[in-house]
Amino acid sequence: MKLHSSSHAVSSATRFITPGQAISAYGVAEVVASSDSEFQKVDLVKGFIHWAEYSVVKAEECTLTKLDTLGFPLTYYLGILGMSGHTAYTGLFGVGKVKEGDKVFVSAASGSVGNLVGQFAKLHGCYVVGCAGSDQKVALLEEKLGFDEAFNYKQQKNLSSSIHLNIKNTQHIQNSRSIVQVLPQRN
Ligand SMILES: NC(=O)c1ccc[n+]([C@@H]2O[C@H](COP(=O)([O-])OP(=O)(O)OC[C@H]3O[C@@H](n4cnc5c(N)ncnc54)[C@H](OP(=O)(O)O)[C@@H]3O)[C@@H](O)[C@H]2O)c1
């Protein structure tokens, strides 16, 4: 997860990039040297490190913790077993409390969190509708990620009625709860 984004001007969790400064983001790394007794050389770690081959960090400032991969590829800890996966999982099941048969609508559905929300919901037996900002992304959602329906919100005159129409068209689903991932207004 990146800490810097032009689309996140309103978020207190993000900040602007200062030219010349390394970009920090959630990542995984191997310790090559440490003066912190908690970490030894060759330890695998996760936390907010830099987009760089080598980073010098203070563990307490970047929430650095040791990583036990449990045999999974390291890259999983940047996605499904990382921040995006935790966000998607807790948002869908902890906050949204989805149940089998629910209708789930996912905005930013091809993003790192949205694509997992949709896939978790499908695995849980929900009917999943997603929206994205290009036809290519819509095809990815429907053809590769298993969304039941997807649409390009940039081609809709009225987003609310598009969502309503997609949800309404799923008559065969009895349970009418719907879950919406809300994003800030685009400028
Ligand atoms: N990644 C994490 O670990 C994490 C953790 C906590 C919270 N979050 C929050 O979850 C949300 C999604 O994060 P992400 O990491 O999945 O982002 P991402 O992978 O960077 O995807 C963001 C996508 O959101 C869409 N988008 C941007 N502005 C939009 C708007 N105003 N309305 C509708 N769609 C918009 C764009 O896709 P289209 O082209 O399809 O519009 C963009 O590609 C963000 O609000 C983020 O702050 C993420």
**pLDDT digits 0-9 by tens, 111-123:** 999 999 999 999 9
Same domain, 137 and 153: yes
**Residue pLDDT, tens place only, 50-97:** 989 999 999 998 899 999 999 999 999 999 999 999 999 999 999 999
All residues at 6 or more sequence positions from 15 whose CB lies less than 8 Å from its CB, including other chains: 3, 4
Tokens, residue 100:
């089998």
Nearest CA to ligand 1 atom 10: 113
**Residue 1, in any domain of the structure:** no
Q: How far apart (Å, rounded) are the C-alpha atoms in residues 83 and 51?
A: 16
Select from 49, 78, 107 the last residue of a domain.
78
Same domain, 98 and 154: yes
Same domain, 167 and 98: yes
Backbone φ and ψ for 69, nearest 5 degrees, come out as: -70, -15
Signed CA dihedral, 155, 161, 163, 165: sign only: negative
Same domain, 108 and 173: yes
All residues at 6 or more sequence positions from 108 whose CB lies less than 8 Å from its CB, including other chains: 114, 131, 132, 181, 183
pTM, full prediction: 0.81
**Closest ligand 1 atom to Cα of 13:** 47
Question: 82 alpha carbon to ligand 1 midpoint, in Å?
Answer: 16
Q: How many domains does the chain have?
A: 2
